Structure 1
Amino acid sequence: MIYRSTRSHDWQVSAAQAIIQGLAPDGGLFVPEEFPAAFTEDELKDLFSLSYQELAEKVLSRFLTDYSPEQLHEIVKGAYGDQWDDDRIAPVSEERGGNYFLELFHGPTLAFKDIALQCLPRLMKTALEIQHDSHEIVILTATSGDTGTAAMRGFSQLDKTRVIVFYPYQGVAPIQLKQMLSESGGNTVAIAVKGNFDQAQTNVKRIFSDKEFGAELNEHGFAFSSANSMNVGRLLPQVVYYFYAYGQLVKRGIVQAGGLVNFSVPTGNFGDILAGYYAKKLGLPVGKLICASNKNKVLTDFFKTGIYNKNREFYVTNSPSMDILVSSNLERLLFDICQDPATVKGLMAELNEKGRYQLPKAMYEKLGTFAADFATPAEIEGEIKRVYAASGYVIDPHTAVASLAAHRFKKQDGAHPTVVLSTASPYKFPETVYHAISGLEVKRAGMPALKQLTDFTHYLPKSIEKFLGHTGAETVIEASDMPAEVKQILGI
């Protein structure tokens, strides 16, 4: 399968090349030149009986045609092994508070990013072998919280890779910060950037597209890649769990094979929900994809009006991984609905120059798969409390955004079951969760708040125990110093 840039006809590469490069040289994102054929009804029925690992091989083989079946088998076997605390990998809960929750937090860093970031390092290592590439890959990524930890854990100690993570200073949750600073891989480092996530991500993109910088790295035997969902190797593994969730509902008799299921997705950078859109294109019977945002509701407004406008106040909320105003993966959706790189390039130029763009009517009318809603910080706490009071089930703030959106949507369309993507363990955000379910104040953020929550619920995830001890000190830089920091870390 050939991959191409969303912004021009100039860049066609193999899947292995796309995964190594991460971002197209013109700043665009790699997408399949021709989308894989959808599974037939009979093929879908067969898929629903498979284990997660077997299903992952089937789905990934549709997109990664230059990987052999043996290579994909070993990649999947390594990615979804005993590092998970549930051998189902992504189980669906019983009905809780009117919704079904797809639990994506059973990996080593307790967040949905593990699904892809246990797979991507193995995909990248194999890609280097396929391409006979001798470069040392520098994974350069910006994070709003979970990607950084999951990338550092996934790539830790992996030969021929370095991981440099930039995160917004004082813009990630205390537990997320402790996770990043406690990672001990000698090839990983996390750096705080003064500013918000969008500023960090914008500078990462600039570094990627700086040809002189890239040439200098190449002279020293390095090459950039990304662990963000800008990398198609991060995106594709996420398609799998939509099929797996649907199959679990079929097995329980909650839906008949072929019946529609809605998915409500807490959405910041748009990668997670785009994976659901790709699953639908592959034939999964998806009803609506509910794009659930927090107070930074740029995506909610986009789907309701067709206007993307980042010229607005930026809010730091109690769902920090969604505190984003520039959703990079939306570019892939724009390409899919117009199939014209010139149009996409023009829209991205408008966003860069004016901070906004408006979709042509013909494009906007193709967004019917999506619904959209948002939740304020107070509503997030209220939803955590509602679900807990109804069922004793504890959810994190990001999951609560999607849960509330699903709860509201059912009033419009109660005909189909709705699966809420539960993207992180509630124990990563104890400050908000403890206050919501107990009604009591947190004494102090971070580990003291975690102790209050675990004392209240009488539970502590095993993965958290691994970083309860020593953590390193923060390094804080200006956003403008990011290129120099990369050179210093690499010894250039």
Structure 2
Amino acid sequence: MRYVSTRGQTPPESFQDAVLTGLAPDGGLLVPETIPDVRDRLDDWRELSFQDLALEIVSLFCDDIPRSDLATLIDRAYRSFDHPEVTPSVQVGDQRILELWHGPTLAFKDIALQLLGHLFEYILEARGQSLNILGATSGDTGSAAIAGVRGRHNIHIFIMFPRGRTSRVQELQMTTVADANVHALSIDGSFDDCQALLKATFGDLEIKRGMRLGAVNSVNWARVMAQIVYYFYAGLRQREPVGFAVPTGNFGDIFAGWLAARMGLPVERLILATNENDILSVFFNSGVYRRGQVRHTISPSMDIQVASNFERFLYYLCNEDAARLRQLMADFAERGELCFEAGCTGRIDPLFQAIAVDAQTTLATIRDTWRSHRYLLDPHTAVGVAAANALAPGQLVICLATAHPAKFPESVQKAVGEDLAHHPAVDALVGKPVRSVELPADVDAVKAFVREHGIR
């Protein structure tokens, strides 16, 4: 399998190169040359363990790592999870809750980033190379990425987070890590500012090549690939097509679900759920993708106005026409808006339903779910559950639980009136020494810090 840029101006790359490259040199995102069709394998996959299913799916996208080595990497990646199924699902009322928070940082990002950390180490050791990872986080990506690579001798990681705009627990998970290869960068700005700094730094080919920069954000194809697995794992355990409700801000998680459907998983619908930062829900309901001001909400990991993975989806909407995609992205860069008109496929994908969920509804969903079912939701998961309640009432929907409620104790307590959101891993963070570096939202400041502290 080879990987091409959505903008069509760089040569195809191997899987290993795609993992290390992250963002394509022409500014686009890497996608596989073809999307595999697995409809004839679904029955064989139905009873596989999560790890065995991951091996089958990852092998389709990776032909330059021996299968036996892939199996070892996958096994190592998921040993750190506290549930034997890795991503179990439970029935809560009419819905299935797919628990994606059983990894070391209690967020769905662990599923991809634990594997990515092992892939990085494997590829770098084979090549005798080192890597400086630069990432931006609205909350969970940073801590999960740090957990995936902390202590690895051939990797340094620099994670930018918006100062004061992540939850207290999310920040502590990043700033209490003492390993010398970890650098938490507190940026004076929003998450969109952090993403802009990330793209601008990767766009400077001199520092990208000179410092061997790599990406852990969902711009990295391996992140999306790993997330495809749990859609198949949950969906194949149902005997009929199902819907998924996905809280999303950056479009990576739900894009993995869309790819699973393209590969042949029987998916009835994908419910895209945003908070008040509703650029994605507006697009799927109107065809207009318009940048706005980021609003600070109780679901901070979704406080995003420019979804970094959205370009991949647009590429497929444009029938893989890179020139058309380049024009759309140029329009967006110039005007802060793009309109998806006839000329690609002429309509938005009918698999999607989209809705924005406000804070009041989010809190009410947490409260009502606790009172009715004694099941505690974090605010991001509650956004997805509320969307499913609104768009598919009484129907079986698999709602993705993206974080453990203990990561957002203040919001949960506000909803239920009790201090219930705890987890031993979170409680252990309190009182630990913290370290981070404050930087302005300035690309030159970020570059200078990476040059000074990165591995060469």
Aligned to 2:250: 269
Aligned to 2:101: 105
Which deviations, in whole Å up to 9, do the C-alpha atoms of 1:330-357 show, x marking residues without a partner?
A: 1111111221111111111111111110
1:128 pairs with one of 109, 124, 130: 124
Aligned to 1:486: 450
Aligned to 1:372: 354
Q: 1:137 touches 1:162 (CA, 8 Å); kept in 2?
A: yes
Compared CA separation, residues 471 and 39, structure 1 to 2 (3 A)? farther
Distance 2:352 2:433 in 1: 41
1:352 pairs with one of 329, 333, 342: 333
Following superposition, which runs of at least 4 residues in structure 1 exceed 4 angstroms of deviation? none
Report deviation, 1:483. 1.8
Which deviations, in whole Å up to 9, do the C-alpha atoms of 1:396-420 show, x marking residues without a partner?
A: 0000100000001114xx5x52000
Q: Equivalences for 1:115-264 in 2 at 5 Å?
A: 115-129=111-125, 132-215=126-209, 218=210, 222-248=211-237, 250=238, 256=239, 259-264=240-245
SS of the aligned residue for 1:79 comes to helix
Aligned to 1:417: 396
Distance 2:378 2:345 in 1: 34
Distance 1:37 1:418 in 2: 24
SS of the aligned residue for 1:102 comes to strand
Q: 2:363 touches 2:411 (CA, 8 Å); kept in 1?
A: yes
Q: Equivalences for 1:268-417 in 2 at 5 Å?
A: 268-310=249-291, 312-338=292-318, 339-361=320-342, 362-411=344-393, 414=394, 416-417=395-396
Which deviations, in whole Å up to 9, do the C-alpha atoms of 1:81-135 show, x marking residues without a partner?
A: 1x211111000012x1432110000000000000001100112222335xx5333
1:89 aligns with 2:69: no
Distance 1:472 1:286 in 2: 44
SS of the aligned residue for 1:57 comes to helix
Aligned to 1:444: none
SS of the aligned residue for 1:20 comes to helix
Aligned to 1:453: 420
Distance 2:345 2:300 in 1: 31
Distance 1:373 1:243 in 2: 24
Q: 2:10 touches 2:24 (CA, 8 Å); kept in 1?
A: no
Name the aligned partner's letter for residue 6 of structure 1: T
Unaligned stretches of 5+ in structure 2? none
1:46 pairs with one of 36, 44, 47: 44
Report deviation, 1:137. 0.5
Distance 1:360 1:186 in 2: 50
Distance 1:184 1:278 in 2: 37
1:76 pairs with one of 51, 66, 74: 74
Calculate the aligned-residue CA RMSD, in Å.
1.5
Report deviation, 1:475. 2.2
SS of the aligned residue for 1:124 comes to helix
Q: 1:16 touches 1:128 (CA, 8 Å); kept in 2?
A: no
Which deviations, in whole Å up to 9, do the C-alpha atoms of 1:245-276 show, x marking residues without a partner?
A: 1233x3xxxxx2xx210000000110000000
Aligned to 2:62: 64
1:470 aligns with 2:450: no
Aligned to 1:443: none
SS of the aligned residue for 1:93 comes to strand
Which deviations, in whole Å up to 9, do the C-alpha atoms of 1:272-326 show, x marking residues without a partner?
A: 000001111111000111110000000000000111000x232100000000000
Report deviation, 1:462. 3.2
Q: 2:10 touches 2:25 (CA, 8 Å); kept in 1?
A: no
Report deviation, 1:466. 4.0
Compared CA separation, residues 39 and 72, structure 1 to 2 (3 A)? farther
Q: TM-score, normalised by structure 1?
A: 0.89
Q: 2:130 touches 2:455 (CA, 8 Å); kept in 1?
A: no
Q: Number of residues paired by the alignment?
A: 452
Q: 1:11 touches 1:24 (CA, 8 Å); kept in 2?
A: no
Distance 2:139 2:93 in 1: 27
Distance 2:229 2:147 in 1: 21
Q: 2:273 touches 2:354 (CA, 8 Å); kept in 1?
A: yes
Report deviation, 1:66. 1.4
Q: 2:367 touches 2:416 (CA, 8 Å); kept in 1?
A: yes
Report deviation, 1:34. 1.5
Distance 2:171 2:184 in 1: 9
Compared CA separation, residues 193 and 364, structure 1 to 2 (3 A)? farther
SS of the aligned residue for 1:106 comes to coil
Q: Taking every aligned residue pair, what percent have the same amino acid on both sides?
A: 37
Q: 2:124 touches 2:154 (CA, 8 Å); kept in 1?
A: no
Which deviations, in whole Å up to 9, do the C-alpha atoms of 1:422-465 show, x marking residues without a partner?
A: 00000000000011012x6xxxxxxxxxxx335xxxxx423224
